Amino acid sequence: MLDKLKAIENKYEELTTLLMDPGVLSNPSEMQKYLKEQADLQHLVGKIREYMKLLADIVDTEELLKGDDGDLRELALVELAELKDKKPVIEEELKIMLLPKDPRDAKNVILEIRAGTGGEEAALFASNLFKMYLKYAEHKRWKVEMIDLNSTGLGGIKEVIASIQGKNAYSRLKYESGVHRVQRVPVTEASGRIHTSAATVAVLPEAEEVDIKVDEKDLRIDTFCSSGPGGQGVNTTYSAVRIVHVPTGLIVQCQDERSQIKNKEKAMKVLRSRLYEIEMERQEKERASERKLQVGTGDRSEKIRTYNFPQNRVSEHRIGFTLHKLDQVLEGNLDEIIDSLITHYQSEQLKNL
């Protein structure tokens, strides 16, 4: 491990030297590349240097124990115990930081929410979930762009697709994919009985054109009049776009913008992300069968979480985690749940390394 840590520190120092090279300074694209590499290593190198100093301090303190000064030896014994207590903590932090990174973690997100079983109550719950993610995005200062919305007359949502753009959006939201279940008394229930409904959440890493190539010959593109709010212009111009990817049968549509060109751009963004996810899942299954390990990051058919309104409780079924703060969670305070999920899956990775 020490050799690996020293190699990382050496790489960081090489990058620092390169960034002072006149040839690099005169080449903006090369400079940006090295700056990004250095920034990616900065936090890890800081922890490596902290660990190296700790090891040196342990050696120096052990030397003090060999001296004849009784008072100094007594102080050294106390300090040595403290240093040795810190050592496994920093080692654990380093192990986690050295885990293989998901190359998609820094990507933006395509968020899709669909009402499941439960009729109008499921649609209302889907609306609650969407508002929850909007508030979480606001806390993180991420930008949200609507792509498509199919709402109900009572304020529910049958389906919504949105783009979430911000630092490490996918790394924070990727574990949200799956079936979310709600237990509460619906507003339409006169007898006060608790109903169980569900909504499905899909979190896709937003794919760039370099990630996935889509052949125009494989697309069938239709235009139609937008529906819903937006005034006369929305309903009378053929601005809405529906794209069918013939080889896979995937269908994507967007009618949020007045411009047909912008709607097509947004629809293509969703299509690329869905095709990218299909390819990533295929590759992951191949790797999993080779190493007989598959860490799930959100099978859409998996019931992952229950929101129990009468008990103000959120239950995260994958890790056996319960939080009696449902009201706060719905206000977008998701970090406690997400941090617990990240810690769990990191521990699973460490076990299998």
The CATH number for 47's domain is 1.20.58
Q: What digits encode the pLDDT tens for the residues 285-333?
A: 765 554 333 333 434 457 999 999 999 999 999 999 999 999 999 999 9
Residues 192 and 315 grouped into a single domain: yes
Residues 155 and 236 grouped into a single domain: yes
Q: Which helix (H) or strand (E) is 283 found in, with range?
A: helix 260-291
Q: Which domain holds residue 54?
A: 2-97
Residues 190 and 273 grouped into a single domain: yes
Contact 73, 64 (CB under 8 A): yes
In the chain, pLDDT over 70 holds for what percent of residues?
Answer: 91
Q: What digits encode the pLDDT tens for the residues 231-255?
A: 444 455 678 899 999 999 999 998 8
pLDDT at 1 (0 to 100): 76
The CATH number for 281's domain is 3.30.70.1660
Residues 153 and 262 grouped into a single domain: yes
Angstrom distances, CA of residue 322 to CA of 102, 307, 344? 27, 10, 14
Contact 299, 312 (CB under 8 A): no
Question: Of 40, 21, 41, which is closest to residue 31 (Cα–Cα)?
Answer: 21
pLDDT-based confidence at 149, cuts 50/70/90?
very high
Residues 232 and 345 grouped into a single domain: yes
Identify whether 104 is part of a domain: no
Edge-to-edge, what's the strand order for the sheet holding 178-184?
Answer: 143-151, 157-165, 109-115, 195-205, 178-184, 303-308, 313-316, 321-323
**CA 336, CA 343: separation in Å to the nearest integer?**
11
pLDDT at 265 (0 to 100): 87
**CA 183, CA 332: separation in Å to the nearest integer?**
19
Question: Of 149, 141, 201, which is closest to residue 169 (Cα–Cα)?
Answer: 141
Residues 302 and 340 grouped into a single domain: yes
Phi, psi torsion values for 274, nearest 5 degrees: -70, -40
Residues 92 and 141 grouped into a single domain: no
Q: What digits encode the pLDDT tens for the residues 28-42?
A: 888 988 998 898 899
Domain boundary among 97, 118, 145: 97
Mean pLDDT of 62-79: 89
Transcribe 116-141 into DSSP letters: -SSHHHHHHHHHHHHHHHHHHHHHTT
For 316, residues 6+ apart whose C-beta sits below 8 A from its C-beta are: 304, 305, 322, 323, 337, 340, 341
Identify whether 102 is part of a domain: no
Residues 225 and 335 grouped into a single domain: yes
Domain count, the chain: 2
Q: Are strands 195-205 and 178-184 parallel, antiparallel or unpaired?
A: antiparallel
Domain boundary among 74, 97, 120: 97
